[in-house]
């Protein structure tokens, strides 16, 4: 049997890639690992908890069962707050960013932005969901409380990003800008183990993921692209297969490994797009670029967009390089 490398061992090993590393980023990644295990436990119990909850019971403290996305949010915040390396967080669950005010946290060099449970409307029907995170070095002075500017940085400034997918198995995939690595949780030992080293995404693929119900409500160029995907062409392997889970992390993860494109365009209903730039689009853009793929809003590289708001949305075209390029050319009339 070949030697197992756990995520904790790997993170420590990789710290050596950064000669001036102080171990703080390493600690944040360790905190994320622990919070992910807690969320994994709660996600796996979700069905059972619902059955018990249906009896109309309260728990021993007299509390109602909290929704899983709130529980996930709390698990991550607790981990970052107690770690002390993070001076503040922004999350899909909070209108404003949260600045930690303990002396230790004020000296933290980093901020984390995250979506605690993306696709959470899928929980009730047992479909894969995920957590997405993005880590930046703060721009405000160390020793003070975090400011909005710490969070409104371009994606190119990310120092690390990743996601956890709660699927048929639980995986954590992350990058610190030196490639992408994936770890599968082995429930028998409670450890994430290196299962997908140095992930590279295929240059092109045969899977396209978009909500086709929106096609009449978006740029006509996108209709052209969908038509292109459905055409017969044995050389490029078309027709492609349509695959849309409606859970960004799951759609993204599948395409990353197999080759494909995920699209959530601007639509009449969502004129600025549906997905959030800071804690959904940027982290996955960092990962896909590190794996050799591309992420744009249809025209501009995602990581080059200057954010002006915490919950800013954008159109999203992400995946295999050649497929994203083709979709973009359809938007400018190049069907």
Q: Which tokens is 137 given? A: 């070095």
Q: What x-and-dash track marks residues 161-200 binding ligand AHM by CB under 6 A?
A: ----------------------------------------
Q: Which tokens is 241 given? A: 């297969």
Picked from Mg ion, ligand AHM, none, the partner binding residue 175 (CB below 5 to 8 A depending on kind) is none
Picked from Mg ion, ligand AHM, none, the partner binding residue 265 (CB below 5 to 8 A depending on kind) is none
211 binds ligand AHM (CB under 6 A): yes
Closest CA to 253 of 243, 265, 241: 243
Least distance from C-beta 225 to ligand AHM, angstroms? 17
297 binds ligand AHM (CB under 6 A): no
Residues 6+ apart with CB under 8 A from 142: 87, 106, 107, 108, 109
Least distance from C-beta 12 to ligand AHM, angstroms? 32
* 3-class SS of residue 26: helix
Read off the DSSP letter of residue 3. Answer: P
118 binds ligand AHM (CB under 6 A): yes
Q: Which stretch binds ligand AHM (CB under 6 A): 117-125, 134-142, 153-161, 233-241?
A: 117-125
Q: Which tokens is 327 given? A: 């979709």
Closest CA to 244 of 303, 319, 296: 319
312 binds ligand AHM (CB under 6 A): no
Q: Which stretch binds Mg ion (CB under 5 A): 76-84, 115-123, 153-161, 235-243?
A: 115-123
Read off the DSSP letter of residue 95. Answer: S
CA dihedral 23→26→32→35, nearest 10 degrees, is -60
Judge whether 89 and 135 are in contact, CB under 8 Å: no
Helix 68-83 to helix 24-53 angle, to the nearest 10 degrees?
A: 150
Picked from Mg ion, ligand AHM, none, the partner binding residue 31 (CB below 5 to 8 A depending on kind) is none
Judge whether 250 and 127 are in contact, CB under 8 Å: yes
Query: Site for Mg ion (CB under 5 A): which residue of 115, 191, 251, 297?
Result: 115
Least distance from C-beta 27 to ligand AHM, angstroms? 27
* Residues lying near ligand AHM in the complex (CB under 6 A): 92, 115, 118-120, 211, 246-248, 274
* Residues lying near Mg ion in the complex (CB under 5 A): 115, 118
């Amino acid at each position: 049997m070949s030697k197992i490398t756990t995520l904790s061992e790997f993170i420590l090993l990789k710290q050596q890639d950064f000669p001036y590393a102080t171990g703080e980023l390493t600690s944040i990644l360790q905190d994320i690992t622990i919070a992910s295990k807690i969320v994994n436990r709660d996600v796996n119990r979700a069905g059972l908890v619902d059955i018990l909850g249906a009896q109309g019971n309260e728990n021993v403290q007299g509390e109602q069962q909290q929704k899983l996305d709130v529980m996930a949010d709390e698990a991550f915040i607790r981990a970052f707050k107690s770690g002390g390396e993070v001076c503040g967080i922004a999350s899909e669950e909070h209108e404003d960013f949260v600045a930690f005010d303990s002396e230790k946290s004020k000296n933290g060099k980093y901020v984390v932005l995250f979506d605690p449970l993306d696709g959470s409307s899928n929980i009730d029907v047992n479909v894969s969901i995920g957590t997405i995170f993005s880590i930046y070095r703060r721009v405000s002075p160390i020793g003070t409380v975090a400011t909005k500017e710490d969070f409104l940085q371009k994606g190119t400034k990310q120092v690390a990003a990743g996601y956890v997918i709660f699927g048929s198995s639980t995986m954590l995939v992350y990058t610190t800008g030196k490639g992408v690595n994936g770890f599968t949780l082995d429930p028998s030992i409670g450890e994430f183990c290196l299962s997908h080293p140095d992930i590279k995404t295929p240059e092109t693929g045969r899977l396209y993921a978009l909500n086709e119900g929106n096609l009449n409500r978006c740029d006509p160029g996108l209709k052209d692209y969908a038509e292109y995907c459905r055409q017969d062409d044995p050389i490029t392997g078309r027709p492609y297969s349509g695959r849309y889970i409606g859970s960004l992390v799951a759609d993204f993860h599948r395409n990353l490994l197999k080759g494909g494109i995920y699209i959530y365009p601007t639509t009449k209903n969502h004129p600025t797009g549906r997905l959030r730039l800071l804690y959904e689009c940027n982290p996955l853009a960092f990962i896909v670029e590190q794996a050799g793929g591309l992420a744009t809003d249809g025209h501009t590289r995602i990581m080059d967009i200057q954010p002006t708001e915490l919950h800013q949305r954008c159109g999203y075209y992400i995946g295999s390089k050649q497929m994203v390029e083709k979709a973009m050319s359809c938007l400018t009339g190049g069907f």
